[in-house]
Structures are given as C-alpha cells and as structure tokens.
Amino acid sequence: MSEKKLVREITSRDEDFAKWYTDIVLKADLVGYSGVKGCMVIRPYGYAIWENIQRILDGIFKDTGHENVYMPMFIPESLLNKEKDHIEGFAPEVAWVTHGGSELLAERMCIRPTSEVLFCEHYKNIISSYRDLPKLYNQWCSVVRWEKTTRPFLRSREFLWQEGHTAHADADDAVRETEQMLNVYADFCANSLNMPVLKGKKTESDKFAGAVATYCIEALMHDGKALQAGTSHYFGDKFAKVFDITYTNKENKLEFIHQASWGVTTRLIGAVIMSHGDDSGLVLPPAVAPVQVVIIPVAQHKPGVLEKAAELAERLKVAGLRVKLDDSDNSAGWKFSEYEMKGVPLRLEIGPKDIEQNQCVIVRRDTREKAFVGLDNLETEVSELLSALAKGIYQKSLENIQNRTYSCKNTDEINAAFAEKGDGFVKAMWCGDEKCEDEVKERTGAGSRCIPFEQEKISDVCVCCGKPAECMVIWGKAY
C-alpha cells in the first residue's frame, strides 16, 4: 500500500450522506468503477464481506433443507413472455443478447433479471409425483437489470445475489416457506449484520412481478431513509398453471404445485455501510468483517515487539478469529486511520511497555473506547469485546429507528415530522386504495414500505382520504 493513500478524508456523513457513502465505498477499497456504466468491480475487501454473508446464509439455507443448483444465465424471449405480469415487470429492464459470435440468433435471449421462469421450466421436467415435493432449491449468481440510475451496492445493472425457488405440494407449505425465509433474513440481519429490520407485506402496487404476495424486511439507514433489505414471494399456483407444472398426489390425482421465491443481494453491504458507518469510515459487524482484529505493533523496531505481536495474532487465529497483523513500515497514524476507514471492529496495540506489563491496548471501532487487556485471557476478552461491539451497533441502529419512527394521522403531520426530526419511518393508517398510496407519496415524498406484521391502530381513518382504514402501513423515503 503506497503512502499516497495517507490522505483519506471523507465527506461528513451529516453534511452530504450520498457523497459520504460514495467516499466510503471507494476509500475503503470496497469497489472500483468499471468501463461499463452501472457495473462495479467488487474489490477484495468488499468481496470478502460478501463471502462472509454467503457463508453464513448458505449454512442456514442448508440447515433448513435447501440445496444449491445452477441455472443458465439466459432466458429465451418466449420463455420470459409466458407469465404476463412477470414479463410486464421485467421487460423494460433486461439486457438482450442477439448474436452468438457473428450469427444472429433465431430468438433473442435476455440475461436473467431473476430466474422464476427457468426454475419453472426445470420443475416441470423433474416433478411428477408427491414424492418429488417439496423441492427446496437455491442459487448464488449474478443477475442483470438495466437500471437508469445506479449506485454501488444499492442499485447496479449487474449484482450478486441468491435466489431461492421452491416448489410445494400445497399452498400452506409454500406460505410457510415464504414466512420461514423472511424470518431467516430478519434474524440474519439482526444477528450477523447487527441491523434491526421490520417485517411486513408489500402493498398490491409494490408486489414482485407475478407474485400473489410479496413480503419484505425494511431497514432504516442513518439518514432516515428506508432500505428494502430482502424479500420473499408467494406465487400460489400462478406460475404452475402457466407452465403446467403438476404432480400426482397420494390419491393419484393431478394437482398444480405451489411456489415461493426469496432473495437477498449485495445491497446488504450497502445497508451495513449506511447503518453503522461514521465520519471515519466503515464500522463492520464482527460476523461479516473480513478482519475482526487488526494488530498494530508500537515501536516495532524494539526487540521482542514484532515477535509478541505475531504470537498474539497466532493465538487469536487459533481461537477462530480473523486477524491481521500490520507490521508494514507505514506510520502508526496511517495505520490507525486506515483500519478505521476499513471498519475493523477491534484494534489491538502492543508495544514494549505493554509487554512489560503483560497487557495490550484494545480500541473499539464504534465507540473508540480504549481498554487495557491482560494477555492471559486475551481470547476471551477479545471475543467479549466483539460481542459488545455487535450489541452496541445493533442498539444504536435500533435507537435510530425508535427516534425516527413517527405516528401520524394525516399527511400534514408526516411533513411536519420530517421537517422537524428528519426523514424516518412513518406509521400511518391506510384505506387500501392505491390512489391514496400515490397521493401520500406525492404530498410527503414517503412511499409505502410495507404493511408490518406488527399492526397498531394509529387512528380509525386513512392518513390520506379520511375514509375507514384497513391497516397500518409503514411509509418512508426509499433508496
């Protein structure tokens, strides 16, 4: 790493959140720009976060009985066209392949924006009896959606994700799957990303193209904007009827299968940045941090310092932690700001005086609290500090939601809350009419995020039209 990188000042988070975000993704070496607009290079440090996310989620998927597969990246136009709502939703934003080598293709193909139709085609081939069900498949891959406006991790033309696609004998089982995976996502966000989320159902207008019902988890970023962090969809037998996917039940009668799908993307990395980051850079949740502890030798030219630092690094590695020892000749000041920028949860400093006293200094990235830690119980102390940090940043995010959730009875109250306290989640009642949904967005800038599972009664009437309310909706300005 060359010293030219010493200057790493970034825009203040409260001054210009968007600029702060871009500064971080570039200066923490998460992404690089590529020659294709809207496509990013995910650099090693960013990709290592994704690998940790993958590893944890993949373990949970397998523990809940799911199997990984790989479908082709191409969807022939006629296949994409089969389900009317699905094609309407995706046709405007797919990339089309028209030529193979110098030959014009007989039928053009799009690059998968999502793989429902490919899984349907496959399920039709492999499902025939109730014994073949359920099929609990998942795929890790990249997908392409030709978006107009793009931002690294949040919205890019190509992004990495996982897409679960499952086939079930009956509706109940498919609904259970949809709910189960939404809970998996919510728990993962809480436990591994230390990011609390709301769970709910999307309104009709906001459903996934072709779904009977779409469920989502919604997170609130530091600036009060809402971010959809994951979704699961219930399809009923809609696709099954279009693709004629049937099975023989125990009574030897033909039935349509019922389906679900669910996905999270590299957008989760964007969520982590905007939930926990600060003016010095990233703050990474220990569960997904590529480096959990960075060890920085102080006065490393003094005898015994480097050896001791290496010994501690080895001990922590043996304890199962991800550790980096930086014994480069960069200054301590450079190192401190480098690993703050990169959001390494704990910085461990060790110098001659510490060695004399059989201790080291550990600094938490989130609070910057400094602790003198005895070397005898280093492993335990470090893992306790990591847990404390995880809890701390979760708590801070939770408080952000609590401080920025406003109960409002009409759109004037929404505007007043935003003006006074900044953007956030709005709890307000809704009559169920799409016109009101649009009207609220027009008047306040806040769209419906979800109909949360945890309902409250803010008032009896719709926040917009004053007619009797059907349910409480969470509204917010979106990424």
Strands 405-407 and 425-430 come out as parallel
CB-based burial, 366-380: b 16+ in 10 Å, e otherwise? beeeeeebebeebee
Q: Does residue 341 belong to the site contacting its own copies (CB under 8 A)?
A: no
Q: Which of 12, 96, 399, 421 binds its own copies (CB under 8 A)?
A: 96
CB of 56 to its own copies, least distance (A): 15
Window contacting its own copies (CB under 8 A); options: 10-18, 140-148, 201-209, 250-258 = 140-148
Q: Which of residues 261-320 bind its own copies (CB under 8 A)?
A: none
- Measured CA to CA, the distance from residue 298 to residue 139 in angstroms comes to 46
Closest by Cα among 447, 393, 436, 23 to 228: 447
- 190 Cβ contact partners less than 8 Å away, ≥ 6 residues apart: 196, 197, 394
Least Å distance, CB 243 to its own copies, is 11
**Residue of 9, 14, 51, 399 that binds its own copies (CB under 8 A):** 51
Q: Which is nearer to its own copies, 56 or 471 (CB)?
A: 56
Question: Pseudo-torsion of CA 174, 176, 179, 183, nearest 10°?
Answer: -130
Query: For residue 290, is the peptide bond before it cis, meaning its omega torsion is within 30 degrees of 0?
Result: no
Q: Which is nearer to its own copies, 175 or 313 (CB)?
A: 313
Least distance in Å: CB of 137 to its own copies?
A: 7
Q: To the nearest whole angstrom, how small is the minimum distance from the Cβ of residue 258 to its own copies?
A: 19
Which one of the spans 72-80, 238-246, 294-302, 428-436 is the region binding its own copies (CB under 8 A)?
72-80
Instruction: Kindly report the number of other CB atoms within 10 A of residue 2's CB atom.
Output: 6
92 binds its own copies (CB under 8 A): yes
Taken as a whole, the chain contains a residue count of 479
Judged by CB under 8 A, the stretch of 117-125, 169-177, 278-286, 450-458 that binds its own copies is 117-125
Match 């809402």 to its residue by tokens.
Answer: 226
User: Minimum CB separation from its own copies for residue 289, in Å?
Assistant: 15
Q: Does 71 bind its own copies (CB under 8 A)?
A: yes
152 binds its own copies, rule: CB under 8 A: no
Q: Is 80 in the site for its own copies (CB under 8 A)?
A: no
Give the residue from 351, 384, 355 showing the smallest Cα distance to 369. 384
HSE of 479 in the Cβ direction (CA atoms, 13 Å)? 28
Considering only the stretches 38-46, 309-317, 318-326, 336-344, report the one whose residues sit in contact with its own copies under the rule CB under 8 A.
38-46
CB of 305 to its own copies, least distance (A): 23
Structure tokens given for 412: 């004037």
Site string for its own copies, 2-31 (x = CB under 8 A): x-x---------------------------
Question: In Å, what is the CA distance from 10 to each residue of 291, 364, 373, 380?
Answer: 22, 20, 32, 35
Contacts of 142 (CB under 8 A, 6+ apart): 73, 158, 159, 160, 161
Q: Does position 95 bind its own copies by CB under 8 A?
A: yes
Interface residues with its own copies (CB under 8 A)? Answer: 1-2, 4, 32-36, 39-44, 47-48, 50-51, 67-76, 79, 91-103, 109, 111, 118, 121-122, 125-126, 128-129, 131-132, 137, 141-142, 144, 146, 157-158, 160
